[in-house]
Structure 1
Amino acid sequence: MKTALIALTALMTASCTHAFTAFASEDIADQYPASPLYSKPYEVIPGVFSAIGATAPPTYENSGHNNNLSFIITGEGVVVINSGGAYVLAKALHQEIKALTDQEVKLVFCENGQGHAMLGNSYWAEQGVKIIAHTDAAEEFADRGPQSLSNMQRLNREKAEGTKLSPPTETFEDDYIVEMGDFRIEARHLGPAHSAGDIVVWLPKQGLVISGDMAFHERMLPLFEDSMTAEWLETWDTKFEALEATYVIPGHGHPTNMDQVRRYTKGYLEYLRGKIGEHLENGGTLQDAYYVDQSPYKHLDTFEQLATKNAGRVFEQMEFE
């Protein structure tokens, strides 16, 4: 185990943002034709697996699997992180788990209230598995879930069969800690970040954080109406950095290290806020704010879809700060 961790550390330390470009490209429709999953789960560190989703927007070809679906084989049961964006994805993930272990899935954590984190709940509920989320994420899913379901059904067509709105079975405010087998698993709400009820799953013994949408690096992060960038940066500096994680499985894109997610999450937010701040000081308008220079991040997947929207959202926030 120690040898595997040292090797992974060396790989992550040496890797740059382009190291996985061939595997995370928006141009690859599906990496795992034998399954509805976009890619086959692989072992990141001993006992921790992740099926890496497409870094492109959801499509029929990727079955809406454009986020990471992870699981931990603890020795006393399996813990899943993200139920998946549809019943078919949750079922496919479970099939992969059963091919690796006879241990039962005991818990599912939903990293936030978005559809790709919770629409697979209906499958796990059928299996009698406890589904855990932050209170705010559960409220967001209750509010926006019907629209997420409708969007997924339109996208996935016949592959949407079986997907129903199924809320978490249990919620928490600050943290939810489980001791299971070889793992201490700490689901934590660190504070305001990407969306309501964001959580990270921290494995202190292994030094690995499953960050959810707290951290991005291969694709551009999206800013929603409720993605408050100043608060996100404060949560990052005061809580996320304090974990001192060695390994990061982000919400989207391949496992990496803190240097990479720091560069492309905190660094991007600080850069964009700086550019918009200059624009405001010069009397710039919202219409012109969409075109501030974001070229240092042009190589990231989803840049074309998100860069101008992000600039507009930051302008609207900073205008009243």
Structure 2
Amino acid sequence: MRSLISIACIALVAAPVLASEDIADKYPASLLYDKPWEVIPGVFSAIGATAPPTYENAGHNNNLSFIVTGDGVVVMNGGASYGLAKALHAEIEAVTDQPVKLVFNENGQGHAVLGNNYWAEQGVPIVAHVDAAAEVEAHGPAILKAMQGYNKDRAEGTEVQVPTETFEEEYVVEMGDFRIEARYLGPAHSPGDIVLWLPKQSLVISGDMAFHERMLPIFADTMTADWLETWDTAFEPLEATYVIPGHGHPTNMDQVRRYTKDYLEYLRDQVGAVMDEGGGLAEAYYVDQSPYTHLDTFEELATKNAGRVFEQLEFERF
């Protein structure tokens, strides 16, 4: 287990530790892409690959975190499959004898919810925002089919399981030594995005509110103007010392701001300049995003992101 000094070196330096899509699976003995490590006392995270989901990484391309409270374990994210959830549970049991008492889904995406049926088998309540639960109900079979397409035999045992409990604004857990505040801060990356805020520890498990080391994707239902407003009015005011982002290594607020808020503002400005000059969608696809070429998934996402921002600005302006 890495020491707190090691964490400080990784998380709080001014320049980020860059990931690579070419790095092989870091934990071949497990379906997990990497072994969980202790970010601060009692809070662990298994850092996912910063590449798209593949058979090789078993869909573990987001961060699967858990909190050992002293009176039970709270997990953030069901995982991308039954097998991946089971693998995470094995790692939890290697760390503590305390039972898992609660699982949160950071949103309704596959890597957050497709392991839910494993946790339901263990009798663990699964909590999500009402909008995330609605996503699972509406699109669960399609999400499952997409995962089965890349995960093949590693998808075995996975079934759609909707969250068993939902909330709209806040779900507070007082357990052991921790106060855990699950908060819906407002529209962000996808419907029902939530964060877990640990006020005593000044740590936020941000889910997809914040990204680090990989380019964020802008989906058809990702309203970038709303995301920026939520960031400014609700996420930034947390003033978290430690951030476990949805993707990328644990870090600080400066770094996730750089690769989330600053990127969204930069891209909106670049695309807006194209529109001001009378350019159309074809020109918008190729705006300069060179300050972000070092991020993983840049090749997969940069032009798509620009196109979606163009469509949003077109709607906002006209």
TM-score by length of 1: 0.96
Matched, 1:16 2:15: yes
User: How far apart are residue 199 of structure 1 and its match?
Assistant: 0.1
Aligned: 1:282 with 2:280? no
Match of 2:191 in 1: 196
Distance in 2, matches of 1:5 and 1:185, equals: 21
Instruction: Show the counterpart of 1:129.
Output: 124
Task: Give, in angstroms, the shift of residue 15 of structure 1.
Answer: 4.2
1:60 correspondence with 2:55:
yes
- Unaligned regions of 5+ residues in structure 1, if any? none
Residue from 291, 314, 318 that aligns with 2:309: 314
Alpha-carbon deviation of 1:320?
1.5
Match of 1:28 among 23, 29, 35: 23
Instruction: Determine the C-alpha separation between the residues in 2 that align with 1:185 and 1:39.
Output: 25
Q: Distance in 2 between matches of 1:32 and 1:192?
A: 35
SS, match of residue 320 in structure 1: helix
What secondary structure does 1:287 align onto? Answer: helix
What is the rounded CA distance, in whole Å, between the counterparts of 1:205 and 1:7 in structure 2? 21
Cα separation, 1, equivalents of 2:12 and 2:247: 19
State the alpha-carbon separation in 2 of the partners of residues 208 and 254 from structure 1: 14
SS in 2 for 1:88: helix
Q: Deviations over 1:156-198 (max 9, x none)?
A: 1111111000000000000100000010000000000000000
Match of 1:104 in 2: 99
Q: Is 1:172 aligned to 2:167, yes or no? A: yes
The total of aligned residue pairs comes to: 314
Kindly indicate whether the alpha-carbon contact (under 8 Å) linking 1:9 and 1:246 is maintained by their aligned counterparts in 2: no
Contact 1:190 1:239 in 2 (8 A): yes
**Superposed CA offset, 1:100-139 (max 9, x none):** 1110000000000000000000100000000000000000
1:231 alignment partner AA: D
* Mapped partners of 2:246, 2:95: distance in 1: 23
Match of 1:140 in 2: 135
- What amino acid is the match of 1:163? T
User: Which amino acid is 2:184 matched to?
Assistant: H
Task: Find out whether 1:161 has 2:156 as its counterpart.
Answer: yes
2:65 to 44, 63, 70: 70
Q: CA deviation at 1:6?
A: 7.3
Query: What amino acid does structure 1 have at the position aligned with 2:12?
Result: T
**Does structure 2 conserve the Cα–Cα contact (< 8 Å) formed by 1:192 and 1:228?**
yes
Q: Which residue matches 1:37? A: 32
Matched with 2:263 is 268
TM-score (structure 2 length as normaliser): 0.97
Structure 1 residue 13: deviation in Å? 2.8
**Hey, what's the Cα distance between the residues in 2 that align with 1:160 and 1:98?**
22
**Residue identity in the other structure for 1:264:** Y
Aligned-residue offset at 1:148 = 1.1
TM superposition shift of 1:12: 2.8
2:245 aligned with 1:246: no
Alpha-carbon offset, residue 304 of structure 1: 0.1
Residue 14 of structure 1, CA deviation? 2.0
CA contact (8 A) 2:241 2:253 kept: yes
* Structure 2 residues not aligned, in runs of 5+: none
CA distance in 2, matches of 1:299, 1:8: 23
Contact 2:4 2:39 in 1 (8 A): no
The CA RMSD over aligned residues, in Å, is 1.2
Letter in 2 for 1:191: G
* 1:5 Cα offset (Å): 5.9
Match of 1:184 among 155, 164, 179: 179
**Alpha-carbon distance, 1:286 to partner:** 0.7
Matches of 1:85 and 1:51, distance apart in 2? 13
The percent of aligned pairs where both chains have the same amino acid is 74
**Amino acid in structure 1 at the alignment position of 2:70:** G
